[in-house]
């Protein structure tokens, strides 16, 4: 599913058209790439796969397990499979790529 080139403006337009908080733009094997734009609060639940966030715009605080870090556009964040995580106190323009990969349960800590 999807094309190997995903222009950010096209992805934003498609996300805005759907009115959804996220949209999947690419799949290959266990890999999927989404664009995510929470509104007001982040209510996501732990996921079955490891995930990487690449912050496209905005800033805020990211919480994963017992760790809380500030983030801004351009930063990369990681949440292992099954970990409780969420974005807090994020700016209204916050938008992030979400990259899910690997087997259910995560790849471990090698």
Q: Which domains does the chain have, with CATH numbers?
A: 8-101 (2.60.120.10)
Q: pLDDT of 32-64, one tens digit each?
A: 999 999 999 999 999 999 999 999 999 999 999
Quote the percentage of the chain above a pLDDT of 70.
Answer: 95
Nearest to 85 by CA among 38, 31, 21, 35: 38
Mean pLDDT calculated for residue range 21-34: 94
Given a contact cutoff of 8 angstroms between Cβ atoms, the answer to whether 46 and 85 are in contact is yes
């Amino acid at each position: 599913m999807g094309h190997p080139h995903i222009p950010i403006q096209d992805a934003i337009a498609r996300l805005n058209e759907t009115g959804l908080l996220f949209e999947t733009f690419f799949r290959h094997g266990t890999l999927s790439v989404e664009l995510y734009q929470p509104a007001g609060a982040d209510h996501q639940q732990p996921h079955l796969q490891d995930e990487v966030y690449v912050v496209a715009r905005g800033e805020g605080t990211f919480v994963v397990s017992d760790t809380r870090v500030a983030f801004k556009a351009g930063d990369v964040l990681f949440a292992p499979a099954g970990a409780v995580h969420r974005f807090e106190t994020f700016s209204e323009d916050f938008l992030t790529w979400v990259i899910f990969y690997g087997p259910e349960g995560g790849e471990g800590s090698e």
